[in-house]
Amino acid sequence: MSVHFRDITMANLRAVYELEVGPGQDGLVAPVGYSIAEAHLSDEVFHYRAIYDGETPVGFLMWDVQPPGNQFPGWGLCRLLIDHRHQARGYGRAALDLLCAEIQSSTDRPRCLWTSYEPREDGPREFYRRYGFVPTGDVIDGEEVARLAQWPDGSPTDDPFA
Ligand SMILES: CC(C)(COP(=O)(O)OP(=O)(O)OC[C@H]1O[C@@H](n2cnc3c(N)ncnc32)[C@H](O)[C@@H]1OP(=O)(O)O)[C@@H](O)C(=O)NCCC(=O)NCCS
């Protein structure tokens, strides 16, 4: 496995746009095309990348960084989508590892990572729990909010409210 992030350009737009969730997973995450449009049209600053294994696009993620004083200060994972043909092979976990490494080497603070997800039985709660996300008890737009307690190397994430 050679998982890495790649910028989305005209050269790979169609291949990345066509990444999609599987039957029954509608509503868990917005389609890639919608997320890219949102990132460009929103007043907020979003960052997005394609997730590749070698030369194969397998997924998409999008995040933002909120300053201290915000309700959820720090890095917020807004979208994570592994194409249904590539799920359950470790790509989701590998993408989180890459994002964590990017955060840990960044000067953007606080260095902590939030996410939120649909509290559905067939949703990604268990995926995030296994990775180390802990529900905060907050609910935003009907989604459970969770925050990563420690980085994959075991070091603690910043206290976002310190
Ligand atoms: C959720 C998602 C990102 C996970 O990516 P993935 O590549 O399929 O997951 P991985 O193979 O990296 O799984 C990592 C671990 O989580 C577990 N896991 C993954 N999805 C799970 C699920 N839906 N329920 C329970 N466990 C799950 C795996 O069994 C694995 O466990 P391990 O600790 O034994 O290794 C992907 O399945 C997906 O895009 N789903 C549809 C959209 C979605 O829900 N996105 C999240 C929006 S917030």
Interval 37-53: pLDDT, tens: 999 999 999 999 999 99
In a domain, 31, yes or no: yes
The residue assigned the tokens 């350009």 is 9
In a domain, 156, yes or no: no
Sorted by sequence, the CB contacts under 8 Å of residue 90 that are 6+ apart come out as 1
Please compute the mean of the pLDDT values over residues 2-26 and round it to a whole number: 97
Q: Whose CA is nearest to atom 20 of ligand 1?
A: 127
pLDDT score, position 65: 98
In a domain, 92, yes or no: yes
In a domain, 161, yes or no: no
Sorted by sequence, the CB contacts under 8 Å of residue 149 that are 6+ apart come out as 132, 133, 134, 156, 157
Model confidence over 78-126: pLDDT tens digits? Answer: 999 999 999 999 999 999 999 999 999 999 999 999 999 999 999 999 9
The mean pLDDT of the chain is: 97
Within a 10 A sphere around the Cβ of 13, how many other Cβ atoms? 14
Domain that holds residue 41: 3-148
Exposure b/e, 127-144, CB count within 10 A at least 16 = b: bbeebbbebeeeeeeeeb
In a domain, 143, yes or no: yes
Domain count, the chain: 1
Residue 160: pLDDT band with limits 50, 70, 90: very high
Instruction: Read off the CATH number of the domain in which 48 is found.
Output: 3.40.630.30
In a domain, 154, yes or no: no
Whether residue 79 contacts residue 106, with contact meaning beta carbons closer than 8 Å, is answered with no
Please compute the mean of the pLDDT values over residues 63-88 and round it to a whole number: 97
In a domain, 51, yes or no: yes
Please compute the mean of the pLDDT values over residues 118-144 and round it to a whole number: 97
Pocket test for ligand 1, best of 48, 97, 116, 127 (most atoms within 8 A of CB): 127
- Nearest atom in ligand 1 to the alpha carbon of residue 86 is 7
In a domain, 155, yes or no: no
Name every protein residue with a CB atom under 6 angstroms from any ligand 1 atom.
Answer: 21, 25, 28-29, 80-82, 87-93, 117, 123-124, 126-127, 130
| Of residues 106, 104, 94, the one with CA closest to residue 155 | 104
pLDDT score, position 154: 97
- Nearest atom in ligand 1 to the alpha carbon of residue 118 is 48
pLDDT score, position 76: 98
Q: What is the pTM of this model?
A: 0.97
pLDDT score, position 1: 83
